Structure 1
């Protein structure tokens, strides 16, 4: 077991994780329905930049995850639930535990926990009133 030490480690984590996401019964249809096979390489690169930025404090990521999540929720008729984020988080933790240990692995888990909660709240706050339940 090794520690996360560089962008290549982050790339391995992100690619391994999203391979699991794409095959997951709950999450796979959502991700595969919004990201085409041709778009996945660029998306994985962007996600690698996102996690590199967050774990190493470098400015490689540009984008708005919140806007993307709100758009997906709208496309799914405002049906994204806490269960989706819980499954995402469980797979993230499992992938980290299979690949890495140490301070940055722990930080990646803590950040993901906070982000998943924040993203769900942001989605919920941006739903039309009739879809808030």
Structure 2
């Protein structure tokens, strides 16, 4: 399914949702992640202080949904160092995220959060593939001398 055009998505704003909404989304979602048979062990192996991690994730999603500027961090390098990533893990992560946003009772927040999550998963997966697998030679392409 194609993502909605940018004009159809709500903009991040303080009016879109409350901090309580963001906190509930993050905590409910990661409670599901921790119970998921494939995702749970991946997170358990790396997250040793869940309170601190959840606080950082609330800051991230507050920035994405409310436009706050509390988040600081660089998640890409940490994720790219994880050799066990595969498309199934990203799909499971997205499925649980969409399930959680569907229960939030805020359709505008759901649309924006789902779009952001889709873009994150796509970006991370594409970067992971580029780092792990060299480009394939195009059949019929000129070979370098």
Same fold (TM over 0.5): yes
Normalized per residue, which structure has more helix? 1
TM-score (norm 1): 0.84
Q: Within 5 Å, which residues of 2 pair with 1:2-81?
A: 5-36=17-48, 39-71=49-81, 73=82, 78-81=83-86
Answer yes or no: is the 8 Å Cα contact 2:90–2:125 preserved in 1: yes
SS in 2 for 1:5: coil
In terms of Rg, which structure is larger?
A: 2
Per the alignment, residue 98 of structure 1 pairs with: 103
Mapped to 2, the partners of 1:4 and 1:44 lie a distance apart of 21
Structure 1 unaligned spans of 5+: none
Structure 2 unaligned spans of 5+: 1-14, 135-145
Mapped to 1, the partners of 2:119 and 2:100 lie a distance apart of 18
Per the alignment, residue 118 of structure 1 pairs with: 123
Mapped to 2, the partners of 1:100 and 1:66 lie a distance apart of 30
Matched, 1:89 2:94: yes
Matched residue count? 120
Moved over 4 A (4+): none
TM-score (norm 2): 0.77
Mapped to 2, the partners of 1:125 and 1:65 lie a distance apart of 17
SS in 2 for 1:9: helix
CA RMSD of aligned residues (A): 1.6
Answer yes or no: is the 8 Å Cα contact 1:93–1:109 preserved in 2: yes
